[in-house]
A and B are shown apart, each in its own frame.
Chain A
Amino acid sequence: MIVTAIISGLVLGGTYALVAMGLTLQYGISRIMNLAYGETIIIAAFCAYLLVSQLGINPVLGLIIILPGAFAFGYLVYGLMMQPLVKRSAKSGTLEVDSILATFGLLFVLQGVMLVVFGSNYTSYSYLNFGVQIFGATIGANRLLAFVLAVVIGAALYLALTRTRWGTAIRAVAVAPQSAPLVGIDVNRTARFAFALGATLAASGGVMISMYQTFTASMGVIFTMKALVVVIMGGLGNLMGALVAGLLLGLVETLVATYVDPGLTLAATYAIFLAVLLWRPSGLFGKAAS
């Protein structure tokens, strides 16, 4: 039982980590606190559902269609909504509050559209719905596949950010947005790109979640919260931290649901969140608070 709980916790945590990486890109590099992040996840989940149920395309292939769509979506949202706010707040320094409020509005719009289109029912589809034995524990093949995909995508992103010139430019913007233009980096373009990349990661997380979990149009907020908790636990803008914190959160949630009460998982999430904030305000892997 404990082995099953740990393994399924880690598998769940893999998705959380992936999703949180997207948010950490958006906040760390584009400086946008995107409260509509979870909605992107749910939209992708619904797209995967449509592909499977209407066209019979399996969700892994569906990624090829959904991910570029998500990138375009993120690119568009940044250009239309965030760029004017970024420009305006160059003087007044109100980007944080403005972006929170604007994406808040976006949250309602996206959620409302999904409610109108898909209704408020729980949605799911069946894909690879059989058990697989690992270390004596049985785990759904779809969960396992989701975990493997999360690892592959997460690793690819990590390598791209740490090993390529292009990744170095992105990290430079994260560390010193004022100095980055001095070495010829177009901060605005990089921010827009990072935002779109974040949306892509959210969408990939959404497709994975749709493989093994039921979802509703109004669930986005919960995923935003979880992603935020992971990001903050790991230290803002820290990809490695997001990974560890994501796994940790998945583990804690599964353990609480198994041994305490499934109704208290969210309470456990907040408890961890608060504990980490009080103990280390800059997160587990963040730099020391200034």
Chain B
Amino acid sequence: MSRTIIGFGVSLLALIGLVILPTVIDAYGVGLLLGLAGYVTLATAWALFSGPTRYVSLATVAFFGIGAYTVAVLSETLPYPLVLLVAALLGMVVAVLVGLATLRLAGVYFVIFTFGLAELIRQLVTWYEVNVTGTLGRYIFLPFSATDIYWQLLGLGAVTLLIGWWIGRSRIGLALKVIGDDEVVAAHAGIDIARIKLALFTVSATIMTLVGAIQAPRWTYVEPSIVFNPTISFLTLIMALLGGATRLWGPLLGAVPLFLMFEWLSANFPSHYSIILGCLFIVIVFVVPRGVLAFIEEHSGRFRNRKPEESAK
């Protein structure tokens, strides 16, 4: 128990540090922090569902885009907190619908459907905008500075980590581990697989929607092809995988170095960006299939093996 308290204390101190940080660094640094906070939250939210269940979801940007687009459509007609609420509700409703339709599907089917979901929503939004409203693209005028957006994302990220921590030590977390290991066993143990998966998928998707909604004011101009850019799904996935999707801090650990690297790459090698991204994907799958954290644990096995015995005494 004392370790938990120390962990919370350190996390809280880090959080306070991160809150103060934008007041001492320049605008470029704040921009970096903002993007970082966004991806850490996305990756952590992704791992909430996909880590324990091993369902590889590529629908991240579908929800992210729903959030961003909701803000673009409603920012001038509703007060901002209400807009966020509507976005969250929309994301939730879509997640429940998608979940009900697809969570019964096994591995590949699920990957493929989520793969196409963002594209489907993008096409529907584009079609609607062109044929019904007559314009493609919208402007967002909200009086938020980069720091304001960063603080909101930071708060959401902290809440996401907290949810992850709570799930990890609750009965749901235990049930999820069983589902991830063997669904048949889980079903026989009386676990309501469908309901738990659906609930988790919805929580994860709602957080992703909120990230999109909060980040939307960063773009003053929004278009379906911008907010439904599939690269966001891929980056989220690879970040969570690099760190380790089954650990609470894994996605964060993967998101920080990868985000900084991709920032640097897209600035310096814009045309070779996707080649490098692809190579990185392959390397991660081959070298650290279960994430850096698990990799370190396995390879420092000599030191770790002694510890449980000692603590058992």
Interface pair A225/B116, CB less than 8 Å apart? yes
Q: A108-B278, A109-B282, A116-B275 are in contact. List 16 more A-B contacts (CB 8 A).
A: A84-B286, A85-B286, A96-B108, A97-B56, A101-B285, A104-B234, A108-B275, A108-B277, A111-B278, A261-B131, A263-B126, A263-B130, A264-B124, A269-B116, A277-B109, A278-B101
Interface pair A105/B112, CB less than 8 Å apart? no
Q: How large is the interface on B (under 10, 10 to 19, 20 to 34, 35 or more residues)?
A: 35 or more
Interface pair B120/A101, CB less than 8 Å apart? no
CA distance A96 to B107 in the complex (A): 8
CA distance A101 to B131 in the complex (A): 37
Known contacts: A111-B274, A112-B274, A266-B120. The answer to whether A274 contacts B101 by CB under 8 A is yes
Q: How large is the interface on A (under 10, 10 to 19, 20 to 34, 35 or more residues)?
A: 35 or more
Known contacts: A228-B112, A263-B123, A264-B123. The answer to whether A109 contacts B101 by CB under 8 A is no
Judged by a CB distance under 8 angstroms, whether B2 is at the interface is no
Interface pair B123/A267, CB less than 8 Å apart? yes
Q: What is the chain B residue whose CB lies nearest that of A113?
A: B275
Judged by a CB distance under 8 angstroms, whether B104 is at the interface is yes
Judged by a CB distance under 8 angstroms, whether B281 is at the interface is yes
B230 neighbours in A (Cβ, 8 Å): 221
Tell me the number of A-to-B contacts counted with CB atoms below 8 Å: 115
Judged by a CB distance under 8 angstroms, whether B113 is at the interface is yes
Judged by a CB distance under 8 angstroms, whether A281 is at the interface is yes
Q: What is the chain B residue whose CB lies nearest that of A267?
A: B123
Known contacts: A96-B107, A96-B108, A263-B130. The answer to whether A108 contacts B274 by CB under 8 A is yes
CA distance A100 to B115 in the complex (A): 11
Q: Using a CB-CB cutoff of 8 Å, which residues 46-102 of chain A contact chain B?
A: 81, 84-85, 94, 96-98, 100-102
**B interface secondary structure, majority:** helix
Contact residue among A84, A100, A267, A270 (Cβ-Cβ distance under 8 Å from B108): A100
Whole-angstrom distance between the Cβ of B99 and the nearest chain A Cβ = 13
Judged by a CB distance under 8 angstroms, whether B264 is at the interface is no
Interface pair B271/A116, CB less than 8 Å apart? yes
B277 neighbours in A (Cβ, 8 Å): 105, 108, 112
B113 neighbours in A (Cβ, 8 Å): 270, 273-274, 277
Whole-angstrom distance between the Cβ of B94 and the nearest chain A Cβ = 14
CA distance A81 to B286 in the complex (A): 9
Interface pair B119/A263, CB less than 8 Å apart? no
CA distance A111 to B275 in the complex (A): 7
Interface pair A232/B109, CB less than 8 Å apart? yes
CA distance A17 to B234 in the complex (A): 28
B279 neighbours in A (Cβ, 8 Å): 105, 109
A240 neighbours in B (Cβ, 8 Å): none
A97 neighbours in B (Cβ, 8 Å): 54, 56, 107
Q: Using a CB-CB cutoff of 8 Å, which residues 257-284 of chain A contact chain B?
A: 261, 263-264, 266-267, 269-270, 273-274, 277-278, 281
